[in-house]
Structure 1
Amino acid sequence: MSKQAGAFVAAALLLAGCGDSDVKEVHDWMDQVKQQTRPAVKPLAEPKDFLPYAYGAKETVDPFSPNKLLNQLAKAAETSQDPNKPDLQRPREQLEGYPLDTMKMVGTMQKGSVTYALLQIDRAVYQVRAGQRIGQNFGIVTRVGDDAINIREVVQDAAGEWVERMAKLELQSKENRK
């Protein structure tokens, strides 16, 4: 058994000597390449001179100002020959001070041949007939029925043109009045 052990040890030493030489050769080659290789780095370009720009925003009108847009729309509305343009100089009626969404139709009543709608605004009740002005958008009541009021409103679109739109106030049931 000692001969086999000796042969085994001798074979292991021979193999260890062979294996180490390959690693040493690789390390030597890597060291040689490192010494011969010189990195080529291009120099950085000189920075450009910075010229500050003086922005005079305080002296100019803000292009995104809603007031600027409103002023332009008002100027365009004054000179417009639009047939839908409302009379802005006429005195306003009482119900033109309230938006339509605050009004509730709670009933109708007949006086002679004229049908009136009963509108509740807050805790007050008002009588409205066809032809009467109503709402904040230059509305005119076009028809009073038993179940609804038809209203023609005139509003400005995004381009400043006056356009008509129809609105309706429907009779509120007892459950919806609360």
Structure 2
Amino acid sequence: MRWLTLGMGCLLLSGCVDPELGELDRRLSDIRNDPGTPAPLEMPEVPQHEAMPYRESDRRSPFRPELPEPEEGPTGSSNLAPDPERPREPLEAFELASLDLVGVLTMSGESHALVKAPGGEVYRLRTGNYLGRNHGRIVSIADASIQLVELVSTGGGGWVERTAQMTLEDD
């Protein structure tokens, strides 16, 4: 049995010998010594296209939500227009949504709201102070919220009052 296994192993190993292995080595050394020049690549002709002008810039972007149709609402009153001579307060430079109510202090019966600006600075405000870009005036300060009255332009020279509220957020 041992001799049979040894004989079969030799027979199998003899099948791995290639008589033309020397020819392969010679051919590979020829290629290594003289790689030649690569075949030229033929690039296909690139077709020229006429530029099309974009004419849809006046239409609604498909990536933004549709705006509701303007309703026939109050035309507003020019008597409500904000005072252009009034000095602006620092928080009027920010949108109301970007401001955060972070606390309410009550000292000697007077309430003060602590409002944080987008830069991280905290301001102490009281009733009558202004904040937000729509001329928002604080009309009342409660334990966890402040009430504002904003003046919003109707676009036709009129102004309307709009109430807004900021609440103390729990983080």
Match of 2:101 in 1: 105
Distance in 1 (alpha carbons) for counterparts of 2:80 and 2:111: 27
Say if 2:78 and 2:157, in contact at 8 Å, map to a contact too.
Answer: no
Match of 1:119 in 2: 115
Say if 2:91 and 2:131, in contact at 8 Å, map to a contact too.
Answer: yes
Q: Which 4+ runs in 1 deviate beyond 4 A? A: none
Match of 1:155 in 2: 152
Give the one of 104, 126, 131 matched to 2:128: 131
Match of 1:89 in 2: 85
Bigger helix fraction:
1
Q: Deviations over 1:46-88 (max 9, x none)?
A: xxxxxxxxxxxxxxxxxx9xxxxxxxxxxxxxxxx82201111
User: Which amino acid counterpart does residue 107 of structure 2 have in structure 1?
Assistant: K
How many residues were matched structurally? 96
User: Which amino acid counterpart does residue 93 of structure 1 have in structure 2?
Assistant: E
Q: Which has the larger radius of gyration?
A: 1
Q: TM-score, normalised by structure 2?
A: 0.52
Aligned-residue sequence identity (percent) comes to 33
Distance in 2 (alpha carbons) for counterparts of 1:158 and 1:147: 34
Q: TM-score, normalised by structure 1?
A: 0.50
Distance in 2 (alpha carbons) for counterparts of 1:133 and 1:113: 21
Q: Deviations over 1:70-107 (max 9, x none)?
A: xxxxxxxxxxx822011112221111111111111111
Match of 2:165 in 1: 168
Say if 2:140 and 2:148, in contact at 8 Å, map to a contact too.
Answer: yes
Match of 2:138 in 1: 141
User: Which amino acid counterpart does residue 154 of structure 1 have in structure 2?
Assistant: L
- Secondary structure in 1 aligned to 2:133? coil
CA drift at 1:159: 2.5
